[in-house]
């Protein structure tokens, strides 16, 4: 297998790297170590996200993969991988994963022409920020059991119910909502997808504070919220089919792997420059063994990301699904291994987050706290294992029974 980039790809990668390296100099101190906390918890962090979104949009990079009819330039999968790697490596904000990664492709397959014209350009221009309204207190892995209703009333749908874990819901302009339009229906029947303005009367967003007090997640309550019928996406009652497609818009996982690689590089610098009992940590045989294991894992993770890109190019969608699950599973568990290793060798200092004594500015303790969530969101790792068993190994499909 030859992973050598073409000359065109090499110069593109250099352009992406130079852009992110330069622009990240503008990150305010409140952006901290980046990630979701950097993005959503402080006003200044979110302002930097919107600034970066505009900059990336000016380059035409938000919509570069989109079909020409929607203003994109149909960039190759490899170009998208390189962009994701570069952005992930520099931990740069500016791409709204909900808008760009999930809702825009959903609109392309499910929306009518008027909706595409109205809703896609603000996403491409980095002007519209979304949150994802799927999970409820009693509907997570078993999403089809959700109970929030949206009942047709004249030219509107009236929404009642509750969503939870809504990442960035307090910052978003819009939500893509999955709700039950037929109250008599069961499970995946009678569900519909909506584009919803977050400033509509009757919407209450309550913070769901993270263990370190950061405000990233929310509960969202709906009390007789009126959504105009023109914001129903696709066919009423067939939202599950559309939502399954949203779930399948694959990401190569390259950004996450590149972010892990950068963290590993920081740890390599740390062990080379930190002494314990008169010796550099880099001379400790156990530290070296563990670091090398993580290094090999990052190489495996990167190869998985390239494999997804290659399968996407071949349009081998069944294998894309199982390999994307492998990548999600491997990447999130790798993140956890990096966090465990790092906080372990940093000792008690490794538990400090906001202090001049915090190694690497508290990066690893933040990762330590955050990485458990990574194993749960976007389909928990147990669900990913089920998917790999079914689509990858050909084992019988697990059915939800509720
Ligand atoms: C940090 C974070 C951010 C999130 N952001 C959003 C968001 O922005 N919008 C949104 O809509 N949702 C969001 N979620 C919700 C997320 O999608 C759900 O938490 C997830 O789907 C799991 O659902 P649950 O929490 O209800 O757990 P449950 O589904 O109740 O699962 C509990 C446990 O049982 C396991 N389990 C469940 N079913 C099976 C099965 N069939 N086989 C094997 N094991 C199983 C799970 O893996 C898990 O360990 C977020 C979650 C987290 C943690």
pLDDT at residue 326, rounded to an integer: 92
Please list the ranges in the chain whose pLDDT falls under 70: 1, 249-255, 400-402
In CATH, the architecture of 250-392 is Up-down Bundle (1.20)
Tokens of 184: 């008599």
pLDDT at residue 254, rounded to an integer: 60
Say if residues 280 and 274 touch (Cβ distance below 8 Å).
Answer: yes
Q: Which CATH class is domain 131-238?
A: mainly beta
Q: How far is the CA of 165 from the centre of ligand 1 (A)?
A: 9
pLDDT at residue 234, rounded to an integer: 97
**DSSP letters along 208-234, please?**
E--TTS---EEEEEEEEEEEEGGGEES
User: Which atom of ligand 1 is closest in space to residue 379's alpha carbon?
Assistant: 21
pLDDT single digits (tens) 7-60: 999 999 999 999 999 999 999 999 999 999 999 999 999 999 999 999 999 999
Q: How far is the CA of 135 from the centre of ligand 1 (A)?
A: 8
* Spatial distance between the Cα atoms of 310 and 322, rounded to a whole number of angstroms: 14
Say if residues 149 and 179 touch (Cβ distance below 8 Å).
Answer: yes
Q: How far is CA 21 from the centre of its chain?
A: 21
**DSSP letters along 234-298, please?**
SSTTBHHHHHHHHHH----SHHHHHHHHHHHHHHHHHHHH-EETTEEGGG-HHHHHHHHHHHHHH
pLDDT at residue 310, rounded to an integer: 86
Helix, strand counts (H, E) of the chain: 12, 10
* Spatial distance between the Cα atoms of 321 and 249, rounded to a whole number of angstroms: 9
Q: What is the DSSP letter of 400?
A: P
Q: In degrees, to the nearest 5, what angle opens at C-alpha 175 toward C-alphas 170 and 178? A: 130
pLDDT at residue 402, rounded to an integer: 56
Q: Whose CA is nearest to atom 45 of ligand 1?
A: 382
Tokens of 289: 């063994």
Q: Which residues fall within 8 angstroms of residue 4, CB to CB, at 6 or more apart?
A: none
Name all residues whose Cβ lies below 6 A of ligand 1.
Answer: 131-132, 134-135, 140-142, 165-167, 217, 373, 376-377, 380, 382-383, 386, 398
pLDDT at residue 399, rounded to an integer: 74
Nearest to 281 by CA among 268, 292, 294: 268
Q: What is the DSSP letter of 352?
A: -
User: Treating both helix axes as pointing N-terminal to C-terminal, what angle do 363-374 and 317-346 enclose, rounded to 10 degrees?
Assistant: 140
Tokens of 290: 């563990």
How many Cβ atoms from other residues are within 10 Å of residue 141's Cβ? 13
Query: What would the CATH number be for the domain defined by 7-95?
Result: 1.10.540.10
Residues, the chain = 402
Q: Whose CA is nearest to atom 40 of ligand 1?
A: 383
Q: What is the DSSP letter of 303?
A: H
Positive or negative: CA dihedral 94, 98, 99, 104 = positive
User: Treating both helix axes as pointing N-terminal to C-terminal, what angle do 285-313 and 317-346 enclose, rounded to 10 degrees?
Assistant: 160
What pTM does this model have?
Answer: 0.93
Q: Whose CA is nearest to atom 32 of ligand 1?
A: 141
**DSSP letters along 156-178, please?**
EEEEEEEE---TTTTT-SEEEEE
Based on C-alpha coordinates, what's the Rg of the chain? Answer: 22
Q: Where in the chain is the domain with CATH 2.40.110.10?
A: 131-238
Q: Is 252 exposed, middle or buried (0-12, 13-18, 19+ CB in 10 A)?
A: buried
Q: How far is the CA of 134 from the centre of ligand 1 (A)?
A: 11
Q: How far is the CA of 378 from the centre of ligand 1 (A)?
A: 8
Q: Where in the chain is the domain with CATH 1.10.540.10?
A: 7-95
Say if residues 393 and 383 touch (Cβ distance below 8 Å).
Answer: no
Q: Which residues fall within 8 angstroms of residue 237, CB to CB, at 6 or more apart?
A: 181, 182, 185, 189, 190, 191, 192
Q: How far is the CA of 338 from the centre of ligand 1 (A)?
A: 23
Say if residues 245 and 106 touch (Cβ distance below 8 Å).
Answer: yes
* Spatial distance between the Cα atoms of 302 and 49, rounded to a whole number of angstroms: 26
């Amino acid at each position: 297998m030859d992973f050598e980039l073409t000359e065109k790809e090499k110069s593109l990668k250099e352009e992406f790297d130079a852009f992110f390296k330069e622009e990240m100099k503008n990150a305010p101190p409140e952006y901290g170590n980046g990630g979701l906390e950097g993005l959503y918890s402080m006003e200044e962090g979110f302002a930097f996200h919107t600034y970066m979104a505009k900059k990336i949009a000016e380059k035409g990079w938000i919509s570069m993969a989109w079909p020409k009819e929607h203003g994109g330039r149909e960039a190759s999968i490899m170009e998208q991988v390189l962009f994701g790697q570069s952005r992930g490596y520099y931990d740069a904000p500016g791409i709204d994963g909900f808008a760009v990664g999930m809702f825009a492709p959903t609109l392309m397959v499910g929306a009518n022409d008027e909706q595409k014209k109205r809703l896609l350009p603000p996403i491409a221009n980095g002007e519209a920020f979304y949150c994802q309204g799927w999970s409820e207190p009693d509907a997570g892995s078993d999403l089809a059991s959700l109970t929030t209703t949206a009942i047709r009333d004249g030219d509107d749908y009236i929404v009642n119910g509750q969503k939870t874990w809504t990442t960035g819901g307090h910052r978003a302009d819009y939500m893509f909502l999955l709700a039950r339009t037929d109250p008599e229906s069961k499970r995946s029947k009678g569900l519909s997808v909506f584009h919803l303005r977050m400033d509509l009367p009757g919407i209450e967003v309550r913070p769901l504070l993270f263990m370190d007090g950061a405000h990233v997640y929310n509960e969202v309550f709906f009390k007789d919220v009126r959504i105009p019928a023109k914001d129903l996406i696709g066919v009423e009652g067939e939202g599950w089919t559309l939502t399954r497609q949203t779930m399948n818009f694959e990401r190569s996982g390259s950004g996450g792997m590149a972010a892990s690689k950068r963290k590993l590089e920081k740890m390599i610098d740390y062990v080379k420059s930190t002494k314990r009992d008169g010796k550099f940590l880099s001379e400790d045989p156990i530290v070296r063994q563990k670091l090398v294991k993580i290094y090999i894992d990052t190489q495996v993770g990167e190869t998985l990301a390239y494999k997804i890109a290659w399968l996407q190019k071949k349009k081998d969608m069944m294998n894309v699904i199982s390999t994307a699950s492998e990548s999600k599973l491997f990447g999130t568990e790798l993140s956890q291994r990096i966090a465990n290793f790092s906080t372990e060798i940093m000792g008690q200092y490794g538990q400090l987050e906001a202090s001049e004594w915090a190694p690497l500015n508290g990066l690893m303790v933040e990762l330590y706290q955050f990485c458990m969530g990574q194993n749960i969101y976007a389909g928990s790792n147990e669900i990913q294992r089920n998917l790999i068993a079914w689509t990858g190994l050909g084992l019988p499909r697990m059915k939800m029974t509720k």
